[in-house]
Amino acid sequence: MSLDDTDRRILILLQQDGRMAIKPLAEQIGLSSPATSERLRRLEERGVIRSFGMDVEPRALGYPMQALVRIRPMPGKLQAVQKLIENTPEFGECDKVTGEDCFIGRLYLRSIEHLDHILDRITDIAETSTAIVKSQPVKRRLPPF
């Protein structure tokens, strides 16, 4: 799926400010507002833009810690583990992966005790390996285009 320079500029600007109104966006890319709206519509139709969202600071919501958890379900427990992950709101995201582990998830946590509480629920049906996040030098960003 190829993008032209205008599409790329739209994506970069919206990545910086997803709430940017059409008029200032149009001014920055050098198109009219209707032409910019049409470009956005086409990017959505093509599946390039999936949604417009917000970026929330977990610490401001009382979650000062994050942990990455590798999860290896016990034999026959894959679906049960996936359901448990899906139903645990502290998992901010989780990927199903290849290799020895089946899942890698990001937990938002209030404390080490909170982490222990969540892991205690998983350890009956899976093995886990956890790393506490110290910092995030690269935040989620667009892939190169």
Domain boundaries, position 13: 5-45
- Mean pLDDT score, 121-139: 96
What pLDDT does 145 receive? 80
Q: Domain total for the chain? A: 2
What pLDDT does 141 receive? 82
pTM of the entire predicted model: 0.81
Same domain for 79 and 18? no
- The predicted-structure confidence for 66-78, as pLDDT tens digits, reads as follows 999 999 999 999 9
* Residue 29 belongs to some domain of the structure: yes
- Mean pLDDT score, 78-102: 97
Same domain for 68 and 128? yes
Residue-wise DSSP of the chain:
----HHHHHHHHHHHH-TT--HHHHHHHHT--HHHHHHHHHHHHHTTS---------GGGGT--EEEEEEEEEPTT-HHHHHHHHHT-TTEEEEEE-SSS-SEEEEEEES-HHHHHHHHHHHTTTEEEEEEE----SS-S-PPP-
The CATH number linked to 10 is 1.10.10.10
What pLDDT does 16 receive? 87
Same domain for 72 and 120? yes
- Position 1 confidence tier, pLDDT thresholds 50, 70, 90: low
